[in-house]
Amino acid sequence: MIVVTGAAGFIGSCLISKLNKEGHTDLILVDDFSFEKKSANYKTKQYAQAIERKVFLEWVKEHANEVTFMYHIGAKTDTAEFNVDLLNELNLNYTKTIWNICTQHNIPLVYASSAATYGLGEFGYDDDESKINLLKPLNPYGESKNDFDKWAITQTSTPPKWVGFKFFNVYGPNEFHKGRMASVIFHSFNQIKANGGVKLFRSHNPNYTDGGQLRDFVYVKDVVNVLYFAYTSNMKNGIYNLGSGKARPFLDLAKSTFKALGKEPNIDFIDTPIDIRDKYQYFTEANMAKLIAQGYTTPFTSLEDGVEDYVKNYLVNTVYL
């Protein structure tokens, strides 16, 4: 059986859909299932059992011999969370325990890291493990992810196969529950429906125009394709970027959302809040050469095609993947 933590969340639930599509139904879903708004993400999925996060570690110790693969996607993903103890508990120590269980019981492991580990990108966006100790994340969330990456690469006892993926700006279906942490596309869609316009952050960096801030936006369908590739391939153990490999401006994202709705762009700019202004990333772009070198050849969805699919086939009628 395959275990997926974070199974009720955005990426985790989309991964469940991918696994179901590929014929896998003997799945163990792990999450905090008390959040009712997440239930639509998994209620139509096929799986063997849903287990609460708080009891999962005890469960897996008893059933480890039945587990054939582990996807650890669950995490506290709020970039504005400053409770370091909470982030260490959920993102660092919980993941260490899962790693040790997988090592002890010979279970292959894929886990979620984050592009937030790169901070302002002072050392680039190359998934070079020799640079991990140099990285300077901008918030405790990024630090918790980087702390685990740093720990993982020093371990001499490891799962038989292990891969960490640094997710860049993921967008797509099943993020209805995420509130302010949902993608800019999700918020743009709702702003357009509510008042006909979109508000983007003004640039406070002279090197970038308003709306010209660049991010690597990656469609969640591409993300789960890569996650499945990690299951089926013999890729080398290590930490890999998972983005589209192409930085795009927020202005293009907003314009694509208007186009998908058949509307003319109506975009205004507002000041970036003072409390995040000095921690704002003006550029991210995943170097995807390392993954491609492992044999991954599926093209990534363009921003325009991804936004059109997301808006027309999911957001307009509140459809889940």
The reported pLDDT for the residue numbered 92 is 87
- Residue 313, pLDDT above cutoff 80: yes
The reported pLDDT for the residue numbered 78 is 66
Give catalytic residue positions: 141, 178
Q: Select from 3.30.530.20, 3.90.25.10, 3.30.465.10, 2.60.120.380 the CATH code of 179-214+247-283+309-315.
A: 3.90.25.10
- Residue 83, pLDDT above cutoff 80: no
What average pLDDT score do residues 282-286 get?
96
Indicate the residue type of 86.
Answer: L
What average pLDDT score do residues 257-280 get?
92
Which residues, in sequence order, are CB contacts of 292 under 8 Å at separation 6+?
none
Report residue 312's pLDDT band, with 50, 70 and 90 as the boundaries.
very high
The structural domains of the chain, with segments of one domain joined by +, span 2-171+217-245+284-300, 179-214+247-283+309-315
What average pLDDT score do residues 55-84 get?
86
How far, CA to CA in Å, does 308 sit from each of 246, 254, 273?
18, 11, 29
Which residues, in sequence order, are CB contacts of 238 under 8 Å at separation 6+?
127, 129, 153, 163, 164, 290
What average pLDDT score do residues 285-314 get?
98
CB 11 within 8 Å of CB 224:
yes
Domain 2-171+217-245+284-300: CATH class, spelled out = alpha beta
- Residue 90, pLDDT above cutoff 90: no
Least confident span in 48-62, 80-94, 154-168, 244-258: 80-94
What average pLDDT score do residues 231-250 get?
98
> What's the rounded Cα separation, in Å, for the pair 145 and 151?
10
DSSP-derived pairing of the beta strands 2-5 and 69-72: parallel
